[in-house]
Structure 1
Amino acid sequence: MTHNPPAFRTMSIPRSGGRAWPLQVHDRLGSTSDLCKDMLAAGHGQDGLAVLALEQTAGRGSRGREWRNPGGNLALSVMLVGQGAVVPVGAWPFIAGLALHDAVAGFLPEQGALELKWPNDLLLHGRKMAGILIETGAAEAGPWQVIGMGANLAAAPRIEGRELACLAECGVAVSPPDMARAVLQALDKWLECHEAQGFGAIRAAWLARAHPPGTRLRVVAGNQAFSGTFAGLADDGIMLLETPAGPRQVVTGEVLMAGGRQE
């Protein structure tokens, strides 16, 4: 457990209502989310605290995959505690996905290059460039959520069997602190939207930025694998898939794009 966090500098990212996201910027960390969880376990949780690592050596993606940031990419986690953790966990992939999409889109001159993919990925020209990892628990201060977000800005790692993208391929250079600022500002916008209009508005906005209905998908869930075409989202965010055997609801699983290409 990290009792004495490494040295960092702090930035303040304005939010609505006169609030701010306190953003810790670390030169090097094992994992931004692990640091947040260590702080929570030690009783030092702070609602709304964001942690950015300019280099991350032990980051994790979905299903326990390693996600390293050798430098130049985004490795950002946000800590939510007590009253700040009231957003249902099931809504977070969509809220955080919208924030990532809109933040990245703000630096891209090309319209339509980005797509959201259920449940927690952002695609650039059909290849994964960003993802989200959500962890939950409870501490003395109450329930907590840690929202981890990673994006390939300067370089895409080489992983056998996977096709990944980075923002630099589009001739765009953006620093991790600048992208973190954009993500946090967009996150504030979509949290406000969720509070004012509910999940239905989040769902509609997510669908407007996702791969279109009819996109061919393959789902791997446990020891099952099945294919079909994307048919939207249920009211609670469950993915709807049209399969040869009829409509199917997908609660969890790894979603692959048509042709077996892993994102």
Structure 2
Amino acid sequence: MSGSGQAGAARGGAASALPTGWRLEVHEALPSTSDLLAQRAEDGEAEGLAILARQQTAGRGRSGRVWASPAGNLYLSVLLRPEGPAREAPQWSLLAGVALAEAAAELVPDPRALRLKWPNDLLREGAKCAGILAESALAAGGGLAWLTLGFGVNLAHAPALPDRPTATLGGAESPEEFAARLLGRLQCWRKVQRDAGFAPIRAAWRRFGPAEGEAMTVRGIPGFGRFAGLAEDGSLLLEIDGAKRAIPAGEILA
């Protein structure tokens, strides 16, 4: 027992379903799965560790936003130590989004209701049902020392947000069961990335992404543009006043 709560290895069906090379550590409660995993990464933990908390007391999303964390939803952070330059780090959010969307598609009656919102949200019928928090540290030489992907998924509850509607995936699975399925999809897409690079991931993301020409606004960019795809590096392409503009990082407001 520690201040972060009691931890244990995954048990039962969830443990047997874990893909090779992954270790799932389950806590009853933590302040933040991402914070604990970042600490483990800095301490030299090998990649393949996934930390799940049944509740978080200080969960967080992008830009320091509070992530409400009632029991029954998924709070999972995974540790990777990918090869390649640090500039490729944003591509891992898109890879994680594809894995998340595929895992979620098995729980809803109509998978077409699921859409990915660049770069890191999953929507059901336009309402947010999951998000991804990607964090990393630089290594000497310009690579990544480590990268963590934090997943918050509304399996059973849809905590209210002040600026957008929320939804659930229906609560048909326990967090541990969904975690095992998600890790399996991550493993699959990581192999694709190793074998064929980012292009297949980019194409898969487009299948879950917005329709070509969909109007959207991005924080910090005046007016609105229309979705024009993803650049080869994963940047958002917006058509603004007849010209395409690549946006490497940002937040879509609508």
Per-residue deviation, residues 19-77 of structure 1 (Å, max 9, x unmatched): 33100011101000101122233x25131100001101111111111102111111100
CA contact (8 A) 1:3 1:38 kept: no
Alignment size in residue pairs: 243
- What is the rounded CA distance, in whole Å, between the counterparts of 2:167 and 2:154 in structure 1? 7
Query: Displacement of 1:110 after TM fit?
Result: 1.3
CA displacement 1:80-105 (0-9 Å, x = unmatched): 2xxx3226312111110011101110
TM-score (norm 2): 0.89
Q: 1:203–1:237: 8 Å Cα contact kept in structure 2?
A: yes
C-alpha contact 1:40 1:139 (8 A) present in aligned 2: no
Alignment of 1:153-164 (within 5 A): 153-164=155-166
Tell me if structure 2 keeps the 8 A contact 1:23–1:52: yes
Q: Residues of 2 paired with 1:62 and 1:233: CA distance?
A: 21
Partners in 2 of 1:44 and 1:241 — Cα distance?
Answer: 40
The secondary structure found in structure 1 opposite 2:252 is strand
Higher strand share: 1
- Cα distance in 2 for partners of 1:95, 1:157 equals 25
Question: Offset at 1:162?
Answer: 2.0
Map 1:13-162 → 2, pairs under 5 A:
13-15=17-19, 19-41=20-42, 43-80=43-80, 84-86=81-83, 88-137=88-137, 143-162=145-164
Q: Distance in 2 between matches of 1:60 and 1:14?
A: 26
% identical aligned pairs: 41
Q: Tell me by how many angstroms 1:107 deviates.
A: 1.3
- 1:251 matched residue in structure 2: 248
Task: Give the alignment's Cα RMSD to 1 decimal.
Answer: 2.1
Q: How much has 1:254 moved relative to structure 2?
A: 1.1
Deviation >3 Å, runs of 4+: 2-6
1:14 alignment partner, SS class: coil
Contact 1:220 1:226 in 2 (8 A): no
AA matched with 2:49:
L
TM-score by length of 1: 0.86
Deviates most, 97-106 or 239-248? 239-248
Q: Show structure 2 runs of 5+ residues with no match.
A: none
Which amino acid letter does the alignment assign opposite residue 52 of structure 2? L
Q: Could you say what secondary structure the match of 1:191 adopts?
A: helix
